[in-house]
């Protein structure tokens, strides 16, 4: 019994010592970010810069139980609004058929064997989080159901603009939400986003067919 007690005391001392020598949270975070930045040498700058948090991400990724304050949330919304860019054509709705391909395509900018995978264009893969086509069983439930989106909301300019901006940078409406900032991150172009908007809005889209 004595040996067991001594062993437990030694183990406890080692754990305590280890905790005492562990870096503080800020240092740990900096070390982790550096590891991520150095993980993919030779990758294009548009990919590697994503490993560096922007101001909004820094606010939204507070460690521990800290919550984003009202003023910080307002700052995130302000930055998100400022990030939104519109297509050169000025049209916010594109081709629903192209949008249908984008929402189900997960390809684009994958790294395989240390090299960037060749691709024609990035896919939005919206169906990974949202139910959209009522006939599609392979859809996620992390985000709200979008079946009947255009049928319920209509096709007014206000609805189209809101839909475009929400896809471009969802934090303009819901600060720190889990939805990817598809346009602000540069993952989708403004033109690609117009196609996704059309897929959601067009009365002839599978989304709005009963």
Within a domain: 46: no
CB 124 within 8 A of CB 111: no
Nearest of 104, 93, 123 to residue 200 by alpha carbon = 93
Cα-trace Rg, the chain: 23
Cβ neighbors of 122 (< 8 A, separation 6 or more) are 107, 108, 109, 187, 188, 192
Cβ count within 10 A of residue 12: 10
Tell me the pLDDT band of 165, cut-offs 50, 70 and 90.
very high
- For 28-59, what is each residue's pLDDT tens digit? 877 877 787 777 777 777 667 777 789 999 89
Alpha-carbon distance 63 to 131, whole Å? 32
Question: Domain total for the chain?
Answer: 1
With respect to residue 52, please indicate whether it lies within any of the assigned structural domains: no
- Indicate yes or no: pTM above 0.85: no
pLDDT recorded at residue 8: 44
| pLDDT tens track for 57-83 | 989 987 666 788 999 999 999 999 999
Average pLDDT over the chain reads 84
**Higher-scoring residue by pLDDT: 8, 71:** 71
pLDDT of residue 21: 63
Q: Which pLDDT value is given to residue 1?
A: 45
Lowest mean pLDDT among 17-21, 139-143, 180-184: 17-21
Neighbours of 202 (CB within 10 A): 21
Q: For residues 193 and 94, give the distance between their C-alpha atoms in angstroms, rounded to a whole number.
A: 8
Assign residue 153 the CATH number of its domain: 1.10.760.10
Burial, 209: exposed, middle or buried (Cβ in 10 Å; 0-12, 13-18, 19+)? middle
Distance between CA atoms of residues 180 and 162, nearest Å: 16
Mean pLDDT of 125-132: 93
CB 70 within 8 Å of CB 171 = no
Q: Of the spans 23-32, 89-98, 122-131, which averages the highest pLDDT?
A: 89-98
Q: What is the pLDDT of residues 81-118, one digit of tens each?
A: 999 999 999 999 999 999 999 999 877 667 777 777 77
Say if 124 falls within a structural domain: yes
**pLDDT of 18 above 70:** no
Res 4: pLDDT: 45
Q: Classify residue 3: in a domain, yes or no.
A: no
DSSP 3-state assignment of 112?
A: strand
Identify whether 95 is part of a domain.
Answer: yes
Mean pLDDT of 146-175: 97
Asked if 80 contacts 171 with a C-beta cutoff of 8 angstroms, the reply is: yes
The answer to the question of residue 42 being in a domain is no
Structural domain boundaries enclosing 88: 70-208
Residue 127 has pLDDT above 80, yes or no: yes
**Separation between Cα atoms, residue 142 and residue 203, nearest integer Å:** 25
Asked whether 171 and 59 are in contact (CB, 8 A), the reply is no
Alpha-carbon separation of residue 132 from 40, 62, 146, 164 (angstroms): 34, 33, 5, 16
Identify whether 119 is part of a domain.
yes
């Amino acid at each position: 019994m004595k040996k067991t007690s001594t062993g437990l005391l030694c183990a406890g001392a080692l754990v305590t010592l280890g905790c005492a020598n562990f870096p503080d949270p800020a240092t740990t975070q900096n070390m982790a970010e550096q590891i991520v930045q150095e993980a993919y040498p030779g990758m294009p700058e548009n990919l590697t810069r994503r490993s560096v948090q922007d101001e909004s991400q820094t606010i939204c990724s507070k460690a521990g139980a800290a919550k984003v304050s009202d003023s910080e949330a307002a700052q995130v919304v302000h930055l998100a609004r400022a990030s939104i860019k519109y297509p050169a054509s000025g049209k916010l709705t594109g081709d629903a058929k192209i949008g249908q391909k984008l929402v189900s395509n997960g390809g684009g900018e994958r790294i395989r064997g240390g090299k960037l995978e060749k691709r024609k264009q990035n896919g939005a893969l919206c169906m990974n989080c949202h139910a959209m086509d009522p006939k599609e069983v392979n859809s996620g439930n992390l985000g709200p159901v979008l079946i009947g989106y255009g049928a319920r909301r209509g096709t007014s300019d206000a609805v189209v603009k809101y839909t475009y901006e929400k896809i471009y940078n969802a934090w303009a409406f819901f600060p720190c939400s889990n939805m990817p900032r598809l346009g602000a991150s540069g993952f989708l172009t403004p033109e690609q986003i117009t196609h996704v908007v059309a897929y959601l809005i067009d009365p002839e889209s599978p989304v709005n067919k009963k």
